Copies of this chain bind each other. A is one copy, B any other.
Amino acid sequence: MTPTTTERTDFVARLRASFPLDRVLTEPGDLERYSHDDAEWAPFELPLAVVLPESAEEVSDAVRAAAEAGVRVVARGSGTGLSGGANAVADSIVVSLERMTAVTEIDVAERFAVAQAGVINDVLRSTVAAHGLWYPPDPASSAISTIGGNVATNAGGICCVKYGVTRDYVLGLTAVLADGSIVRLGRRTAKGVVGYDLTHLLVGSEGTLAIVTDVTVRLLPLAGREERAVVGSFASLQDAGVAVAAITAAGIIPSALEIVDSTCLRAVDEWQKLGLPRDVDTMLLAKVDEPGALGDAAAARVAGLMAEAGAVGVEQAAEPAEVARLFLARRLAYPALERLGPVLTEDVCVPRGAVPEMLARIQAAARENQVTIANIAHAGDGNLHPLIIAPEGDDSAKARAKTAFDRIVADCLALGGTVTGEHGVGLLKLPGAAEELGPRVLDLHRAVKHALDPRGTLNPGKAFPA
């Protein structure tokens, strides 16, 4: 089925004939730029071409042409993925949805919006906010990632601990199937149970079952929340982990509960000169968002539990600017780390009670493999992001980092966790996914993939081990 060199050339020529010239990219620089997402060390190939469609119909045209030519199709949002899910494969085209940026409908009374796949998460949020509505899912990449990419990976974020993930807000979608046909799935009503839940099957399927071209998202009222921040400083990751366990065991559901460790704090401070105290090992950053007296009580309770868990200091804020200031270290942690070298981002998720133990095991993995591992964590979800740093060009460090990565995955499974909390399997987590899912469930994945994409046109080799 692999196309010959002539067939490839013919295919690209046909593609260029059927799209405006500036929307089929074939320059080497463009091919390189679109060939991979933000995952370090995940393999990729150069695509045959990059197509920039402006409608579902144009996506369909590209998919149909590719399917006929035996060429694979890799869909891409803005390439902020951290697992290699959008990396080009051999004999593929990349279909970038970056030009499909319209929010085509906002229904205030029914509280939903329809956004094309290329709409940036923050743009969707601000657009609906102007109508008094709130789209909660807030991946750290919200300023640059697209709603289509968020849907493809079922993206999480900071407020998920209280408000859920992308899948929880997807009511329906338009998708281009592997044969090029365009389908509408899901609904616009508050409830509905007609047929199989194919809408949510596509969410998180990493472009392997269909290419999502627009999404109908459920919204919440913007009003009624008042954010308060409570930030505790701890002498160790473990102490912060104990505070996390205490807060969740108390039945408090914060709207954010994040850990930032000393490595991240130092990196942020060296970069931004925030004057963070050098004796703080770990910061635990919480938000509560109940209004009025309820919020005051919740914030006081969180602060009390942090103190009981041994916090060396606790700060509170209710003013939006002050809340933002307290969370600044969290927001800057990832870019600050990236300045230190290629960052291999882990994404394990363990039961909340296992957070202290998992953090200890991550530290052990760093020690034993002599690599630097920084930690940011959606601690309230048990979703940890150990950031493994290996200096550019240091092959030995890279090998040790890989060993640490594998060990962390194994430890997470041993603690009853999942190998990926929110980033997706992509290419990086294929071995872990195989272990977590087991052979019979993998059979089911293959059967479902074959049912929707019998020729293996869409993003083959991603999302689950084939």
Q: Does A67 contact B (CB under 8 A)?
A: no
Distance between A357 CB and nearest chain B CB, rounded to angstroms:
13
Binds B, one of A47-55, A68-76, A160-168: A160-168
Q: Does A195 contact B (CB under 8 A)?
A: yes
- Count how many chain A residues have C-beta atoms less than 8 Å from C-beta atoms of the other chain: 88
Q: Does A332 contact B (CB under 8 A)?
A: no
Counting from the closest, the 9 A-B pairs by CB-CB distance are A221-B251, A192-B418, A451-B451, A447-B451, A190-B381, A191-B421, A189-B349, A109-B353, A154-B193
Q: Residues of A with Cβ closer than 8 Å to B?
A: 107-111, 132, 153-154, 156, 160-161, 165, 167-168, 177, 181, 183-185, 187-198, 200-201, 203-205, 209, 220-221, 223-224, 245, 248-249, 251, 253, 290-294, 349-353, 378, 380-383, 416-425, 429, 432-433, 436-438, 440-441, 444-445, 447-448, 450-452, 463-464
Residues of B contacting A245 in the complex (Cβ-Cβ under 8 angstroms): 109
User: Cα distance A420–B192 when bound, in Å?
Assistant: 6
Contact of A437 (CB < 8 Å), options: B110, B195, B463:
B195
Are the C-beta atoms of A183 and B440 separated by less than 8 Å? yes
Are the C-beta atoms of B292 and A189 separated by less than 8 Å? no
Are the C-beta atoms of B132 and A251 separated by less than 8 Å? yes
User: Cα distance A290–B183 when bound, in Å?
Assistant: 40
Q: How many copies does the complex hold?
A: 2
Q: If A189-B351, A294-B292 touch, does A195 touch B423 (CB 8 Å cutoff)?
A: no
A sample of 16 inter-chain contacts (CB < 8 A) reads A109-B353, A154-B193, A184-B441, A189-B418, A191-B381, A192-B421, A193-B422, A194-B420, A194-B436, A195-B445, A196-B444, A196-B463, A197-B201, A200-B201, A201-B201, A451-B451
Are the C-beta atoms of B421 and A189 separated by less than 8 Å? yes
Are the C-beta atoms of A353 and B110 separated by less than 8 Å? yes
* A109-B248, A190-B383 known, 16 other contacts, Cβ within 8 Å: A109-B351, A109-B352, A167-B200, A177-B444, A188-B416, A189-B417, A190-B349, A193-B425, A194-B433, A197-B203, A197-B205, A198-B201, A198-B441, A200-B200, A201-B201, A221-B253
Distance between A208 CB and nearest chain B CB, rounded to angstroms:
8
User: Cα distance A22–B463 when bound, in Å?
Assistant: 46
Residues of B contacting A381 in the complex (Cβ-Cβ under 8 angstroms): 189-191
Q: If A189-B418, A191-B160, A195-B463 touch, does A450 touch B451 (CB 8 Å cutoff)?
A: yes
Are the C-beta atoms of A190 and B382 separated by less than 8 Å? yes
Are the C-beta atoms of A249 and B109 separated by less than 8 Å? yes
Residues of B contacting A177 in the complex (Cβ-Cβ under 8 angstroms): 440, 444
Are the C-beta atoms of A196 and B353 separated by less than 8 Å? no
